[in-house]
């Protein structure tokens, strides 16, 4: 296995948790329709709370009612619950699709629309951070991890500006023969992960039979990938988080020697 263990574990964490900051509770942000930085010193969330965050925690994780707040427009609770589910499943493409739809509904001051716009911004920021890391790795000491991260952003953030930037970077890399094997490996892993997420989402939506077929297709079509191992574990009833952690410690490239390119 190539590269330092801390870097590989961090890489796996990005792929299987969407790069979420340690200690962050995005469900609070979605429930309250606030950006993570509204309650945390770090704009990305997690870590020490600011004064608003401390008051929120003291109030049993609820904002105290403000005068006239009961007269505001109602939020689309069903739509936001759907976003919550998609984000919890780390299905970035589906979450972005839902958020883009919500960001174009109602008037500009509609609370659901404003929340969707803020969430899209937060997702884009997260993708930009991953893209920056990918670019450093591609031209640095870990091009294998860099290429896989680049493909990850291009595929999962494809409907956002950062995804299009990653796609442009990939077009440039395809002109360099030494990246041919890396790109093929990374794109196969990416396709497997997206299909795996579809299967998990189908199950979460109550379509157990269809979800099972999708997960089975992952194990058969993308044998040897991380997603195939996660799909097999899901079919056996194992917890995905436990399997993902085991895979990260074993080999974040999905098993075997990482392709060296050239």
What pLDDT, on a 0 to 100 scale, did the predictor assign at position 25? 62
pLDDT band of 22, cuts 50, 70, 90: very low
What is the residue-wise DSSP string for 23-35? T--HHHHHHHT--
What pLDDT, on a 0 to 100 scale, did the predictor assign at position 242? 63
Question: Which tokens go with 57?
Answer: 């925690």
CA 123 to chain centre: 8
What pLDDT, on a 0 to 100 scale, did the predictor assign at position 51? 73
Of 32-41, 146-155, 172-181, which gets the smallest average pLDDT?
32-41
- The per-residue pLDDT for range 203-223, each reduced to its tens digit, is 999 999 999 999 999 999 999
What pLDDT, on a 0 to 100 scale, did the predictor assign at position 114? 84
pLDDT band of 259, cuts 50, 70, 90: very low
HSE at residue 20, side-chain half, CA atoms within 13 A, is 16
What pLDDT, on a 0 to 100 scale, did the predictor assign at position 203? 93
Q: Is the pLDDT of residue 9 over 50?
A: no
Question: In whole numbers, what is the pLDDT of the chain averaged over residues?
Answer: 79
Q: Of all residues in the chain, what percent carry a pLDDT higher than 90?
A: 46
Over residues 89-104, the mean pLDDT reads: 91
CA 258 to chain centre: 23
Q: Is the pLDDT of residue 65 over 70?
A: no
């Amino acid at each position: 296995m190539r590269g330092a263990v801390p870097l590989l574990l961090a890489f796996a964490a990005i792929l299987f948790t969407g790069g979420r900051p340690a200690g962050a509770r995005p469900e609070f942000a979605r429930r309250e329709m606030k950006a993570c930085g509204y309650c945390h010193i770090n704009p990305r969330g997690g870590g020490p709370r600011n004064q608003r965050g401390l008051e929120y925690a003291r109030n049993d994780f609820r904002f105290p009612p403000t005068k006239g707040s009961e007269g505001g427009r109602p939020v689309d609770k069903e739509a936001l619950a759907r976003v919550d589910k998609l984000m919890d499943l780390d299905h970035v493409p589906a979450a972005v699709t839902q958020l883009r739809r919500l960001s174009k509904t109602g008037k500009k001051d509609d609370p659901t629309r404003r929340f969707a716009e803020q969430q899209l911004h937060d997702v884009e920021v997260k993708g930009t951070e991953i893209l920056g890391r990918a670019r450093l790795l591609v031209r640095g000491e870990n091009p294998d991890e860099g290429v896989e991260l680049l493909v990850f952003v291009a595929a999962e953030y494809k409907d956002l500006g950062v995804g299009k930037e990653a796609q442009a970077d990939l077009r440039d890399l395809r002109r360099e023969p030494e990246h041919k094997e890396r790109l093929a490996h990374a794109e196969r892993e990416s396709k497997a992960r997206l299909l795996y997420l579809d299967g998990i989402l189908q199950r979460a939506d109550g379509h157990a039979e269809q979800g099972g077929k999708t997960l089975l297709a992952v194990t058969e079509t993308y044998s040897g990938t991380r997603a195939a191992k996660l799909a097999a574990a899901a079919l056996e009833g194992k917890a995905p988080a436990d399997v993902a952690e085991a895979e990260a410690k074993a080999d974040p490239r999905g098993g075997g020697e990482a392709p060296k390119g050239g």
